[in-house]
Amino acid sequence: MAERTKYILDEADMPARWYNIVPDLPEPPPPPLHPGTREPVGPDDLAPLFPQALIAQEVSTERYIDIPEEVLDVYRLWRPSPLYRARRLEKALGTPARIYYKYEGVSPVGSHKPNTAVPQAFYNAAEGVTRLTTETGAGQWGSALAFACATFGLECEVWQVRASFDQKPYRKLMMETFGATVHPSPSELTESGRAILAADPASTGSLGIAISEAVEQAAQAENTRYALGSVLNHVLLHQTIIGEEALKQFELAGDTPDVLVGCTGGGSNFGGLAFPFLREKLAGRMDPVIRAVEPAACPTLTRGKYAYDFGDTAGLTPLLKMHTLGHDFIPDPIHAGGLRYHGMSPLISHIYELGLIDAVAIGQEDCFAAGVRFARAEGIIPAPEPTHALAACIQEALRCKETGEEKVILTALCGHAHLDLPAYGAYLAGEISDHALPEEALEKSLAGLP
Ligand SMILES: *Cc1c(COP(=O)(O)O)cnc(C)c1O
C-alpha cells in the first residue's frame, strides 16, 4: 500500500442519498409523545414547527432518501470532505494502530453542522417558509443555519446561550455577516425567556432555554418555522453523508475500521459517521466497536436515565424517549459548548440500549491535552468538542502500543477551533479544571422528569 495521508473523493463520487438506519434496526425506536395526551405525535402536531418534507423524513422507514440536486450543489462548496490517515500522530504516540480521521472542519463555518442546515433551509424555502428561528450554544449551529438561510434567501433569527454570546463575539459576527439576527438567551422577547429572567436576572442560559425561546417564536409567527441542529432523526439522517463518504474512502485506503469513536452532544456528528458503518456491521460485512464519547460534566449516556423527557427547558417540545439528565439540568460551563445538552438523540439512545454501541465519559483536561497533542502532530487545532473523541482515540492507540495490536481506529474530527482559541488559551494557562458531576445534582434534576 502506498504511503498516503489523504483520501479525497471526486465530486462525482459524492454520495447522492442519505441513509436512514431505522429499517435496519432489530426494533424501531419508541415514538415521540404529545406532552398533553401522551399519545404518539402526528404530523399535525409538528406542522407549526417543521415543513412537511422534514416531518416525513423524521418518521421515514425508507432505507435511502435522495439528496435534492439543489442541496448537492451547495454541498459541493466543501464536500466531499477529506479522510486523513494520522501518520504523524501515530508516530508521535509510537503506536502500531492505524488512525484515520474524517475532517468536517472544511465546511464554510468549520464544522459538520451545514450538512443538515443546508437541507433544512432548502425544504423550508421550498414550502414557502420565509423565516427560521433557532438556538445556538457555542455558535456553530447558529452560524451554519445563518449560512444556509443566506443560500436559500430566508431570514434567520438565533437565540444564543448568554454565556457564549458574551464569551464568543466572533460567532455572533459570523452569523450577522451571513445576515442573521442574534439575541442573547434568556431574552425579554419571549415568555419562556422572561420567566427565566424573573427567577434569575443573571441567568447565563442553557441550550434548553434557548430552544424554548426559538420554538415559542416559531409557533407564534407567520411563515416561520424552527430548525434544530442535532438530536432529531432527520438531522442524523442528513449527517450520514459523512459516513457514506468515509466508507468509500476506506475502500480507497484498502482498510476497515476496528474501532470508531465520535463525540456526542446531541448525537449528530457521531450518528452521521457511525450509522453507515453500523449498517455494514449489522449486515456482517465488518465488525467495528462503535464508541460515543461525552464530557464528564454532561454524561448523558453513561449516567443519565433512559426516559421520556422534554427537549427544552420550558416543556414546549414533544416528549422524547432518550438518555437525559433532566430538562432543567444546567451543566457546568465547560468549553465544549456543543456537548452541553441535557438529552441525547432518541435514535442514539435506542441503539445504545440495544447494545450496538458503547459510551465513555472523559474530563475536559484530558480532552484538551489530546487536542494539543493532535494539533502539534497533525497541524489542525480541533474544536473543544471533538477533543473528546480524540482523547478516546489516543487512549485506544496507547492500549495498542501496550498489546502490540495493529487496530484501525476511525474518529470524527467534526470541527476546528479557530473561533474557540480562548479555550486553548485557558488550557495552556493551566486554568482548565474538571467538572465531574456530583450525584446529588443529578438526582435533583432527574426528579423533575415528566
Ligand atoms: C454542535 C457540535 C457538536 C455537538 O453536536 P452533535 O450533534 O453531538 O454532533 C460537536 N462538535 C461540534 C464541532 C459541533 O459544532
Question: What span, in angstroms and rounded, lies between the C-alpha atoms of 117 and 142?
Answer: 9
Q: What is the CATH number of the domain that holds 388?
A: 3.40.50.1100
- Return mean pLDDT, the chain: 95
pLDDT tens digits along 57-83: 999 999 999 999 999 999 999 999 999
Is 293 among the domain residues?
Answer: yes
Q: Where are the alpha helices (DSSP H) in 59-190?
A: 69-75, 87-93, 114-126, 140-152, 162-167, 169-177
Does 117 reside within a domain?
A: no
Q: Is 32 a member of any domain?
A: no
Residue 434 has what pLDDT? 85
Enter the C-alpha cell of residue 423: 479555550
Question: Which residue in 380, 379, 367, 377 sits closest to 426, CA to CA?
Answer: 367
DSSP 372: H
pLDDT at 119: 98
Cα distances (Å, whole numbers) of residue 215 to 49, 135, 201, 232: 7, 9, 21, 14
**36 three-state secondary structure:** coil
Query: Is 97 inside any structural domain?
Result: yes
Pocket test for ligand 1, best of 101, 298, 339, 413 (most atoms within 8 A of CB): 339
Using the atom order of ligand 1, give the atom closest to the CA of residue 230.
Answer: 7
Distance in Å, CA 229 to ligand 1 centroid: 9
Q: Whose CA is nearest to atom 14 of ligand 1?
A: 338
Q: For residues 213 and 312, what is the distance between their CA atoms, to the nearest angstrom?
A: 9
Give the whole-angstrom CA distance, residue 163 versus residue 333: 8
Residue 406 falls inside a structural domain: yes
**Tell me: the pLDDT tens digits for 356-387?**
999 999 999 999 999 999 999 999 999 999 99
Cα–Cα distance between 390 and 412 in angstroms, integer? 8
- Parent domain of 271: 5-14+68-110+234-446
Question: Is the model's pLDDT at 199 over the cut of 90?
Answer: yes
Under the banding of pLDDT at 50, 70 and 90, the label for residue 2 is low
Atom of ligand 1 nearest to the CA of 270: 9
Please, are residues 101 and 119 in contact by the beta-carbon 8 Å criterion? no
pLDDT, tens digit (0-9, with 9 covering 90-100), for 257-314: 999 999 999 999 999 999 999 999 999 999 999 999 999 999 999 999 999 999 988 8
Pocket residues: Cβ below 6 A from ligand 1:
111, 113, 140-141, 230, 263-270, 338-339, 383, 385-386, 414-415
CA 56/CA 78 separation, integer angstroms = 27
Place of cell 458531576: 437
CA nearest ligand 1 atom 15, residue: 140
pLDDT of residue 435 exceeding 80: no
CA of 178 to the centre of ligand 1 (A): 20
What are the tens digits of pLDDT across the range 116-142?
999 999 999 999 999 999 999 889 999
The string of pLDDT tens digits covering residues 136-159 is 988 999 999 999 999 999 999 999
Q: Whose CA is nearest to atom 5 of ligand 1?
A: 265
pLDDT tens-digit readout, 32-47:
999 889 999 988 999 9
**309 DSSP assignment:** E
**Residues for the chain: how many in total?**
450
Question: What pLDDT score was predicted for residue 3?
Answer: 79
Residue 335 lies in a domain: yes
CA 157 to centroid of ligand 1, rounded, Å: 20
pLDDT of residue 436: 75
CA of 402 relative to ligand 1 center, distance in Å: 32
C-alpha cell at 117: 442546515
- Give the DSSP H/E element, type plus range, for residue 408: strand 408-413
CA of 142 to the centre of ligand 1 (A): 12
Count the domains in the chain: 1
What the block records as the C-alpha cell of 20 is 436512514
Would you say residue 295 lies in a domain? yes
Whether 106 maps to a domain, the answer reads yes
CA distance 149 to 182: 14
Instruction: For residue 300, report the phi and psi dihedrals to the nearest 5 degrees.
Output: -60, -50
| Pairwise CA distance, residues 226 & 205, whole Å | 19
Q: In angstroms, what is the span from residue 425 Cα to ligand 1's centroid?
A: 21
